[in-house]
Structure 1
Amino acid sequence: MTSSEISLVAGVAETMLTEQLLARLPDNLAPAPWTCTCAAVLWTGCATRATAQALPSGIGNGARPLGVMGAMVRYSDTPVGRYDEVLGAVMFRRRLGIRGTVAFMAVDSETSLVGGRANWAMPKTLARFDGEVVAGGTMTARGALDTPWSIAASAKPIGPALPIVSSMVVLQQFAEGDVRSSKLHAKGRVRPAVVSVDVDDKASLSTWLRSGRHLGGIVESMTFTLDEPRPVRVG
């Protein structure tokens, strides 16, 4: 994938890359699939009228938004090393299936940025991170490029850690406009939690990834694999 194609991956306004960043990005060093180990704080939210506008055009047609998922993630082992991440995803129904698409994602690793965009069309941008993804801690992410935004999340556990095994299908729109499907398989331990989220209200991100108290979880540990994407017909 060329730097032009990397820049054209579909995402919300906060994921736009600068020409200066594109000029210095490395090659894609780790093709799909990736297997990663992480800890995280994640939360869920209701769909609003603005949620549909966060969907790329190739995915939004015929999709009914059901909700939003946000997460702060600290990766301890990936094919491109350690890094931090924040994301916002839209869950939606299409025909009889429930799918997800990542509309916003930011990391503090240029190598991860390239791999995410080139392999899966994850709209990764650059951010700076402070804090920890632990019970009672706060993790904050701030945009590192021209478009200002910030997100902070802290989690209060409301139950014991439980083992989980899950899988889901992720649809992403690539630079050429085609949509591809990837399967995610995850296994780990999660504590149910109430997550307090603060999204910069001057950022358009805040219209669908909303501030407030949300049901969610503290991922104490998780290992997941995101498979190589396959073409899919949408519509």
Structure 2
Amino acid sequence: MTRFSPTQFPPEPWNLAGQAYASTWRVPAAELPSLPQGIKPITAGGQAFVVTAWIEYQEQGQLAYHELLSTVAVRGKRTTASITEIWVDSEVSLAGGRALWGIPKDLATLDFRHGRTFTASASTSDDWIATAAFSKRAGAPVPLPARFDIAQTLDGALKHSPVRAKAQPRLASASWNLNPDGPLGYLAGRTPIVSLTLDDFTLRFGS
């Protein structure tokens, strides 16, 4: 894997690989965080859909680091999401995500523990953000879109970035604890409608 200084990052597209643990939530549209201008959430009965994920990018890809993100499903020509909150423990990832795609990455301390149950925590120097535990359920892989777009604001304009992914998504049980006074506080006290593990994924981000 190529090593980059904090002020350098690979050009797009990024080819990444690793493990991910995701949950989908229903949230009243009126309680969503801000979205890029011109972007509208997908809603049903006044409820929008938010996906949160813990992601471990591993050595097989161009970069290796940890990530916690929250995205909102939005209207687009194909499956599209907009990232509203995201934390990484890599200055290279932070710089590249902001410069290439307008992804609002911030730094955090992320602790991942793998085993029969996957556990994770995220915090900044100011406060804790979230903790979670995932346990994989028995059953066949669940089909997910292999291609989707990420819509963000870059240099004052809307940018749609294509993503291609391969994974083995499986249903999981998940328990989240979110700081009600933190940046993901709009999810505190809610229960995910579905959770998944995405084993051994590969990802091509950007064009």
TM-score by length of 2: 0.84
Q: Which residue of 2 aligns with 1:179?
A: 158
Kindly report the root-mean-square deviation, in angstroms, between the aligned alpha carbons of the 2 structures.
Answer: 2.3
Q: Which residue of 2 aligns with 1:130?
A: 111
Separation in structure 2 between the aligned mates of residue 160 and residue 226 of structure 1, nearest angstrom? 29
Superposition deviation, residue 36 in structure 1:
0.3
TM-score by length of 1: 0.75
**Partner of residue 68 from structure 2, selected from 82, 86, 92:** 86
Separation in structure 2 between the aligned mates of residue 177 and residue 103 of structure 1, nearest angstrom? 16
Mapping for residues 59-74 of structure 1, pairs under 5 Å = 59-60=38-39, 62-65=40-43, 66-74=48-56
Superposition deviation, residue 198 in structure 1:
1.0
Give the partner amino acid of 1:73.
I
Mapping for residues 1-235 of structure 1, pairs under 5 Å = 26-56=6-36, 58-60=37-39, 62-65=40-43, 66-77=48-59, 78-79=61-62, 81-93=63-75, 97-144=78-125, 146=126, 148-160=127-139, 162=141, 164=143, 166-174=146-154, 176-207=155-186, 209-214=187-192, 215-228=194-207
Superposition deviation, residue 201 in structure 1:
0.8
* C-alpha contact (below 8 Å) 1:59/1:173 kept by paired residues: no
Superposition deviation, residue 216 in structure 1:
1.0
Separation in structure 2 between the aligned mates of residue 114 and residue 182 of structure 1, nearest angstrom? 17
Equivalenced residue count is: 196
Kindly tell me: are residues 31 and 203 of structure 1, through their superposed partners in 2, closer, same or farther at Cα, counting changes over 3 Å?
same
Separation in structure 1 between the aligned mates of residue 115 and residue 156 of structure 2, nearest angstrom? 38
Superposition deviation, residue 226 in structure 1:
0.8
Superposition deviation, residue 193 in structure 1:
0.9
SS in 2 for 1:53: coil
Kindly tell me: are residues 111 and 100 of structure 1, through their superposed partners in 2, closer, same or farther at Cα, counting changes over 3 Å?
same
5+ unaligned residues in a row in structure 2: which ranges? none
Give the partner amino acid of 1:151.
A
Q: Deviations over 1:204-233 (max 9, x none)?
A: 4211x44544211112210010123xxxxx
Kindly tell me: are residues 124 and 135 of structure 1, through their superposed partners in 2, closer, same or farther at Cα, counting changes over 3 Å?
farther
Separation in structure 2 between the aligned mates of residue 219 and residue 49 of structure 1, nearest angstrom? 27
Name the one with the larger helix percent. 1
* C-alpha contact (below 8 Å) 1:45/1:210 kept by paired residues: no
Share of identical aligned residues, percent? 26
Separation in structure 1 between the aligned mates of residue 108 and residue 132 of structure 2, nearest angstrom? 15
Separation in structure 1 between the aligned mates of residue 84 and residue 161 of structure 2, nearest angstrom? 15
Kindly tell me: are residues 51 and 100 of structure 1, through their superposed partners in 2, closer, same or farther at Cα, counting changes over 3 Å?
farther
Kindly tell me: are residues 199 and 129 of structure 1, through their superposed partners in 2, closer, same or farther at Cα, counting changes over 3 Å?
same
* C-alpha contact (below 8 Å) 1:102/1:172 kept by paired residues: yes
